[in-house]
């Protein structure tokens, strides 16, 4: 215990063991190695995990983190809207969105925002909630926030099922 806790130097324990047998010194070294690398790492990991769990349950921290994340995401979506709106009309039309999504770089950027973009028409129809044929900034932001991540994939399946049942 003293060698592991720093109360006694290893050498002070190893010399008396060496008088008994060199195998005792080897066994002692195995014990120290096991204790340091296995047991102490497990104990440290337990405390770190406990601290992380406590931090994730901190209600104020979770709210602040969510709000900051949503704010940053909204800023990126607004910048994306400006990039898609090539004629600077303040609205995105289907041809603008379709030409924007033809580039692999832009598809990758959409995916980095957790927006699935395999089908420009489906994406456009899901975001164009007022069916005006054009998407303004607020409609685009609200649509992207709703379609973020797996929610878009679920909506895409629902739209394709609705389309298939109507034909």
Closest C-alpha among 9, 28, 32, 10 to residue 20: 28
Higher pLDDT, 24 or 109: 24
Region class of 131: left (phi > 0), else alpha (psi between -120 and 50), else beta: left
Tell me which of 12-16, 32-36, 84-88, 111-115 is least confident. 111-115
| pLDDT on residue 113 | 65
Give the whole-angstrom CA distance, residue 44 versus residue 78. 43
Average pLDDT in the 112-137 region? 74
Mean pLDDT of the chain: 75
Query: DSSP state, 130?
Result: T
First to last CA, the chain: 77
Structure tokens at 31: 């014990």
80 pLDDT higher than 50: yes
At residue 156, does pLDDT exceed 70?
no
Neighbours of 33 (CB within 10 A): 10
Q: In this model, does residue 23 exceed pLDDT 80?
A: yes
Cβ–Cβ under 8 Å, residues 149 and 107: no
| C-alpha radius of gyration, the chain, whole number | 30
Buried b / exposed e along 134-145 (16+ C-beta atoms within 10 A): bbbeebbbbbbe
| Residue range 97-107: mean pLDDT, rounded | 76
Q: How many CB atoms lie within 10 A of CB 25?
A: 18
pLDDT over 60 (residue 151):
no
Is the pTM above the cut of 0.75? no
46 dihedral zone (left: phi>0; alpha: psi -120 to 50; beta)? alpha
């Amino acid at each position: 215990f003293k060698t592991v806790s720093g109360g006694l130097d290893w050498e002070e324990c190893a010399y008396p063991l060496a008088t008994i047998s060199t195998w005792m010194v080897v066994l002692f070294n195995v014990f120290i190695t096991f204790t340091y690398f296995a047991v102490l790492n497990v104990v440290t990991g337990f405390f770190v995990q406990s601290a992380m769990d406590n931090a994730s349950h901190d209600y104020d921290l979770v709210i602040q983190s969510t709000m900051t994340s949503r704010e940053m995401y909204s800023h990126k979506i607004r910048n994306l809207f400006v990039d898609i709106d090539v004629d600077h009309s303040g609205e995105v039309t289907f041809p603008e969105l379709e030409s924007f999504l033809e580039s692999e770089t832009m598809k990758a950027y959409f995916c980095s925002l957790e927006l699935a973009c395999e089908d420009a028409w489906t994406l456009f129809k899901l975001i164009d909630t007022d069916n005006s044929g054009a998407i303004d900034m607020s409609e685009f932001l609200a649509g992207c926030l709703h379609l973020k991540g797996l929610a878009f994939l679920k909506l895409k399946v629902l739209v394709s099922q609705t389309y298939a049942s109507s034909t």
